[in-house]
Structure formats: structure tokens, C-alpha cells
Amino acid sequence: MMLEIPYELENFVGGKLVKPLSGKFIDNINPATGELLNHVADSDEQDVAMAVKVATAAFADWSVTPVSKRFEILNRIADSIDKNVDALALAETTDNGKPLSLSKRIDIPRASANFRFFATGIMHFASESHQMEDKAINYTLRQPLGVVACISPWNLPLYLFTWKIAPALAAGNCIIAKPSEVSPVTAYLLSQLCTQAGLPAGVLNIIQGTGNNTGEAMINHPGIKAISFTGSTRAGARIASVAAPRFKKISLELGGKNPNLIFADANWEKMMRTTIQSSFSNQGQICLCGSRILIHESVYDSFKEEFVKRAKQLVVGDPLEPNTKQGAIVSKVHFEKVLRCIDTARKAGGKILCGGKAVKLEGRCANGFFIEPTVIEGLGPDCETNTEEIFGPVVTLQKFSSEEEAIQLANACDYGLAATIWTQDISCAHRVASKIEAGIIWVNCWLLRDLRTPFGGMKNSGLGREGGWEALRFFTESKNVCVEI
């Protein structure tokens, strides 16, 4: 099947592509060139209402489709993704600005892995029974919720879009899904693959549009029973304020300001190589990137010298070129925000050790949105640069003198998504991991993910957990049945 990207990206409702009822579209820009890529449906409450109506009708059959059949369909979707990895990767890079090598190696393979994992998971998803001696038997039913909303971000478009919809589909729900209007293309292409794989019409409905229009209509619709959202803390707070009074289930994976703790006994080469990766992968536009690097004072100067040297060696360039390590920032708006954040750090007294400026390329990327990998030192833990999410190729360096101080610095912000600890002392690693306020802790590694484990943050980094059984439990309702013997 040849995947086609039209000039106008329409909504996918009831198994068909349909224009937004208002007839309105918004521009979608290629961030590497600054040129118009295509137009995206600017959907509103009318489009959402139509999709909910269609999904509600489809739920009657999909909710009782045998799990073995759901398993087959989800695996066929995964097969289709694998067969089209090159086309999907190119579409992702063109739409998002990330290096093509990253799209091929990480984003698209993870999308198919998400479908395979939850296709298998639903086959083994079990409930409990409890016998009350000779009086009664209690058993638990876990039933699909109905119509649910899945709202995904722009940084890992297909990767995170499928992370949400795969468990919802596996559990027997029908979905209203919204990709980011900044990177909507691969979600559009997924609709073609789902149709080819035999997913029944109306089970997955993809509504394009902005958060203020489309997203707001989704979270307010009374027919939507649950909302799974990944994005900013500000948007998450808005969703919670709307959903809580209506008792909708919500899962919120929000921002991060993740600490990377480097002790003196760290495996130096592995730590340095991985820290470059955890700082600047996807131009720092991953919620799990370590943007606050905390280094023991005895190795601070050595670390700084080597880290800055390696950061300067990262090639900023055309995302389609094989040697490019840093692609484009996702949009002009975000490009300008990151530069403002660097300027804020400079005005606060931060010393720019490398980077700090926009990059002007030649050729087809002359008007693209590129920023140098930036390393800053000399700022305290309470400044804006170290407490607010930048979400770009910007990291700060701070030193610590003791284990206690390292923990204090790690917890010195309102976010709590992830942290990385580098030490050969396993006792130290366990102690520090237990005291850091974050939902995900890596020790001597980064972004090593087992899809069976719960995923989510603490504090302002979110509410609830995704992944593994947690995701299937979120997308189902538990019901206890007591039968007297």
C-alpha cells in the first residue's frame, strides 16, 4: 500500500476521510525549511460531536469483539507500520524536524511495538475472584469504558499517539484521538493503515485541530468517558479543571525538568556518551531529557571540559542528512521561546559555555529553525532556568558536594517526571533513587524502557500511570459481582 499525504489533511471519522464541517484549515510548516508543508483541518465542537456519535454507535460491537480478534487486528496494524517504516520515518522527519536517522531507529519502530505489546497484553489481562468460605464468591469484571479521548503531543508524534490508542483499542474502547496540529501527518497516515488492517469503521476517529478549539471540545463533550493526555502542565491543569467536576477518568503525562546526577565513581565513558544523548536527543524535545546536570564537585571541571567539547561536536544540520545529530526545532513559535529562555539565563548571570545562538544553514534549510546545543553554568537551583521547562537543546550544570545535597538539588523544582543516577556504588544508587521525587529513575542508563512497567510522573509532571497493566486498567471500569452460594 502506497501511503499518500495530500495537501489537505482531513479528519478520519467512521472509517472515512471527511473535511471539517466549518471548512477551515490551518497551515502546517516544515520546520527544517520554514516552508508550507500542507494544511490541517481546524476542527471544532461540531466535528467532535459527529465523531463521538459515530464512536458511540461502533462501541456496541467493538466492546464485545473477542480479544483474540482484537489481537489479530492490532498486530496487523503493527505489521503495516513495519512495512512502511521508511515512508513513515520520512513523513515524521519532514513534519517534525527531527533527524531521519532518529525517526527510523526510534519513533516508528516504537509505534509498532506499542501495538504488538498491548495486542498481546489484552490476551493475558485477567481479573480476580475471591471466595467467602461457604457463603459467596466475588469476582471482578473489567469492562471497556465506552468512548475515550486520546490527545498526544508534537515531540514524538506517532510514538506517543500509538502509546495511547493501542491500549484503549485493546481494552475494547472506541476513540476520539487528536494529534498535535504542529505534527499531524503520521497520525493521518495511521488512519490509512488501520483501514487496511481491518479495524472496523468508527472504532478509531482522528480529529485534527488545535488544543484551544478541538481539544477543548473533546474534554467538554459529555459522551467522552476518559481522557489520556500528554503535553504541557498548563494544558493538563485545564483538562483536570474540566474533567474533575464531571468525574471523568484522566491520565496526565506532563512536563519535566529532569535531574541527571553524576557521582565521582561513574563509568566515565558510558556516562559521558549517554549524557550527551539524554541532554540533546530530538533537540532536547523529549519530556525525559535530563536538562539539569548535577555533578560531584571532585569531577565537575573534568566533566565540564569533556561535555562541552562533545556538545560542540554535534552536527546541527538538514534532518535528511545521515550525519546530522541535531535537527530543527519543531516550530517558529517554539524556536523563539527557546531563544528567549537562553536570553533569560544569560540575564540572570548564567555563563554560556557553548551554543546559545540560532544556527543559519545554507541550501534548502536556509529558513529553518535551528539552535546550537547549549550548556550553561553559574545559576542557582531556584532560578527560572532551573525550575521551568525549556524543552529544547539547553542544559545547565550545577555541582554538589554530598549525597544529601545531590538529592536536595534534584528535588528543587515542582516537576517530578524522571531522573538519571550515575554511580558504581549500588547502595548509593538505591538510597538516592528512593529519595528522588520522580516517577521514573534510571541508574547508569537512560531511556531504557520496558513496556510492562508503569510510566508517569509526580508533582507537576502528571497524574496517573500509563504502560503495562496500568494502561489497560485505566481504559477499563472495574465491577464487583457477589454471588451467594
DSSP state of 315: P
CA distance 116 to 114: 6
Give the residue among 257, 253, 264, 256 at the shortest CA–CA distance from 230. Answer: 253
CB 464 within 8 A of CB 252: yes
Question: How far apart are the C-alpha atoms of 290 and 287, rounded to whole Å?
Answer: 9
How far, in Å, CA of 312 to CA of 296, rounded? Answer: 23
3-state secondary structure of 329: coil
Pairing of strands 147-151, 226-230: parallel
C-beta separation of 218 from 48 below 8 A: yes
Exposure on the CB side of residue 146, measured as CA atoms within 13 A? 12
Handedness of CA 317, 322, 323, 325 (dihedral sign): positive
Do the beta carbons of residue 20 and residue 41 sit within 8 Å? Answer: yes
300, containing H or E segment: helix 300-313
**How far apart, in whole angstroms, are the C-alpha atoms of residue 10 and residue 297?**
55
174 is catalytic: no
Within 8 A by CB and 6+ apart from 402, the residues are: none
Alpha carbons 99 and 458: distance in angstroms, whole number: 31
Cell readout for 60 is 456496541
Distances, alpha carbon 375 to alpha carbons 280, 287, 298, 308, 431, in Å? 10, 18, 19, 7, 29
Question: Is 253 annotated in the active site?
Answer: yes
Sheet with 35-41: strands ordered across: 8-9, 35-41, 25-30
Choice among 150, 287, 289, 341 that is catalytic: 287
* Residue type, position 200, single letter: P
Coil vs helix vs strand at 393: coil
Of these residues, 10, 181, 253, 389, which one is catalytic? 253
Find the length of the chain: 485
Nearest-angstrom CA–CA distance, 305 and 151: 41
Active site residues: 253, 287
